[in-house]
């Protein structure tokens, strides 16, 4: 990821529109900012959230609150709690997540 042509700025995430995204169960809410080619998001998953797809987009993801369970298509699973992160490249390892207890995430992709 090369970050270019992004002037210094601050983001008050509470002022960014909260958009609901599809899920198999629970709800997902995204607040999204675009900085050049980088998408930056604050994402909230309600308790019981289950992703509706395998994702192949690369991310750097930080769990701020709650618990995120991520399954890779090869069967491996990982649990992130507040203060933990993961990183994965585009098209590297398809993954999908659940948040049985809910989660709040900060994601750069």
Residue 95 lies in a domain: yes
Query: pLDDT tens digits for 35-86?
Result: 989 999 999 999 999 999 999 999 999 999 999 999 999 999 999 999 999 9
Residue 4 lies in a domain: no
Q: 5 pLDDT band (50/70/90 cuts)?
A: confident
> Can you tell me the distance from the alpha carbon of 87 to that of 109, in angstroms, rounded to the nearest whole number?
10
Query: pLDDT tens digits for 8-27?
Result: 999 999 999 999 999 999 99
**Residue 83 sits in which domain range?**
18-108
> Can you tell me the distance from the alpha carbon of 97 to that of 36, in angstroms, rounded to the nearest whole number?
27
Residue 103 lies in a domain: yes
The CATH number given to whatever domain includes residue 96 is 2.60.120.10
């Amino acid at each position: 990821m090369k970050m270019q042509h992004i002037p210094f700025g601050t983001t008050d995430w509470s002022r960014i529109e909260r958009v609901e995204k599809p899920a198999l169960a629970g709800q997902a809410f995204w607040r999204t900012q675009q900085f050049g080619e980088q998408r930056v998001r604050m994402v909230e998953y309600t308790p019981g959230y289950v992703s509706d797809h395998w994702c192949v987009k690369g991310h750097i993801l930080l769990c701020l609150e709650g618990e995120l369970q991520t399954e890779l298509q090869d069967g491996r699973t990982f649990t992130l709690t507040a203060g933990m992160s993961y990183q994965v490249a585009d098209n590297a390892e398809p993954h999908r997540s659940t948040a049985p207890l809910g989660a709040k995430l900060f994601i750069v992709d």
